[in-house]
A and B are shown apart, each in its own frame.
Chain A
Amino acid sequence: MKYKDYYQTLGVERDASEDAIKKAYRKLARKYHPDVSKEKNAEEKFKEVGEAYEVLQDPEKRAAYDQMGAYQPGQDFRPPPGWGERFGASDGFGAQGGFEDLNDLDLFDILAGLGGRGAFRGSRAQAGATPGRDAEVAVTVGVEDLLHGAEIEIPLNFTQIQPDGRLQRVTRTTKVRIPKGASDGQRLRVPGKGAPGQGGPAGDLYIDIRLRPHELFKVTGHDLYLEVPVAPWEAALGASVDIPTLTGKVALKVPPGSRAGQKLRVRGRGLPRPKSEERGDLYAVLQVVTPSSMSEQEKDLYRELARVSSFNPRGHFG
């Protein structure tokens, strides 16, 4: 089992008061809470901070943790002999407090079971049915997945209590169908696919869809935006240009006198809307581009155009 230094995580001394621990937690929670933080790895950091606080704010768990001894973070360690019996966790440690079955367990799994919510105390098993916890995962998908729907496999880790009271960490993979109509930031729910209950129903699985950036298309809601470069003469005279969509090329009619930044809507070429056969739109955003190098003939033609044209793009400056 790997040691975690909860005091170091909260940045407090080992003899810190409850009040000091609470203050340290609140400060770090404000910084890393994933619902309010933009820090990198906020979710992971908050999990560490929350775990440390859950142990250190509870006198019984804190005492049990302190009695385990102090090691370097990440160091393999074994709680001292008798620790399990002393803190009422002997059932979870097997006969005579042996630790051989706990090697793949997390320190927090063991401490979380103390303090009356005993994961491995007989009292919990006798207390009646307990529903499983909900699980939440963020899943990154591509634009094509949102177009067609997709099947994804989600591995989830749970700590389960075995019939003999021992804790066991299990990984279960759930296959989920993401229906058409989802969008970036969409939340989905799969009933009964969270953590298993103890005699009660399993929790639900909640999925937060995150969209992987696409090489060509920018996505907002169910609409797509595509930058379409056009030559000056195409913008001036109008043209029909082939543009890519998620379902093949279409001909885009560029009207005469178009300007850079102009948006042309291609109806129904965006992403599917939920519970509907309709799709969002694709917006072609025109970018007027000039050749990086020109032949003498091309330059002469531009010079001729400049000579004969009365167009003044800065006329409104006065």
Chain B
Amino acid sequence: MTADIAALLGEHLQVDVEELARATGLSGAEVIELTEYGVFEPLSGGTGHWCYAARCIAVGRRASRLRTDFGLDLHGLALVSALLERIDDLEDECARLRAQSLE
């Protein structure tokens, strides 16, 4: 069996609005609105024609799940996403500090 190569969804791979929408299950209009709310940080491009790091796919898929499972509107979704991003950052910082102190 030949192995399929998995693509890292990080900073090196870029996606446009259409691809981000397709990969997340959000509509293009929702991607644009969530970008305006700061959920997605575009790397380049003008309004509606942005390019994003592929890591935004994971952020968007989580947002899409939360919207579906909790019935959130886009304002609520933007707030929840921002708070979850902060928690992610804090957990990363905790993990880094734990590694340094070799707990």
List the B side residues contacting A30 at CB < 8 Å.
Answer: 70
Bound together, the chains give a CA A221 to CA B69 distance in angstroms of 31
The residue that A26 contacts in the complex, of B2, B4, B70, B102, with Cβ under 8 A, is B70
Binds A, one of B28-36, B39-47, B56-64: B56-64
The residue that B7 contacts in the complex, of A189, A220, A225, A263, with Cβ under 8 A, is A189
The residue that B99 contacts in the complex, of A36, A187, A193, A219, with Cβ under 8 A, is A219
In this complex, how many residues of chain B approach chain A with their Cβ under 8 Å: the count is 32
Establish whether residues A189 and B3, one from each chain, have CB atoms under 8 Å apart when the complex forms: no
Which of chain A's residues 77-98 have a Cβ closer than 8 Å to chain B?
Answer: none
Binds B, one of A102-110, A169-177, A230-238: A169-177
Bound together, the chains give a CA A175 to CA B12 distance in angstroms of 24
Establish whether residues A204 and B23, one from each chain, have CB atoms under 8 Å apart when the complex forms: yes
Establish whether residues A221 and B96, one from each chain, have CB atoms under 8 Å apart when the complex forms: yes
Which of chain A's residues 154-182 have a Cβ closer than 8 Å to chain B?
Answer: 173-179, 181-182
Rank and list the top 5 A-B pairs by shortest CB-CB distance, nearest first. Answer: A188-B6, A218-B99, A177-B3, A220-B99, A187-B58
**A186 at the B interface (CB under 8 A):** yes
**How many inter-chain residue pairs (CB < 8 Å) link A and B?**
93
Which of chain A's residues 272-313 have a Cβ closer than 8 Å to chain B?
Answer: 274-275, 283, 285
The residue that B2 contacts in the complex, of A175, A186, A285, with Cβ under 8 A, is A175
Establish whether residues B1 and A175, one from each chain, have CB atoms under 8 Å apart when the complex forms: yes
Bound together, the chains give a CA A174 to CA B4 distance in angstroms of 8
Establish whether residues B96 and A187, one from each chain, have CB atoms under 8 Å apart when the complex forms: no
**B95 at the A interface (CB under 8 A):** yes
Establish whether residues A36 and B3, one from each chain, have CB atoms under 8 Å apart when the complex forms: no
**B79 at the A interface (CB under 8 A):** no
Q: A35-B66, A175-B2, A176-B3 are in contact. Are A218 and B98 (CB under 8 A)?
A: yes
Q: Would you give 23 A-B contacts (Cβ < 8 Å), ordered by A? A: A176-B4, A176-B5, A176-B6, A177-B4, A179-B5, A179-B8, A187-B9, A187-B58, A188-B9, A189-B9, A190-B7, A191-B7, A205-B6, A218-B98, A218-B99, A218-B102, A220-B96, A220-B100, A225-B99, A225-B102, A274-B10, A274-B12, A283-B100
Instruction: Report B75-103 CB contacts with A as 1/0, cut-off 8 Å.
Output: 00000000010000000100110111110
Whole-angstrom distance between the Cβ of A185 and the nearest chain B Cβ: 8
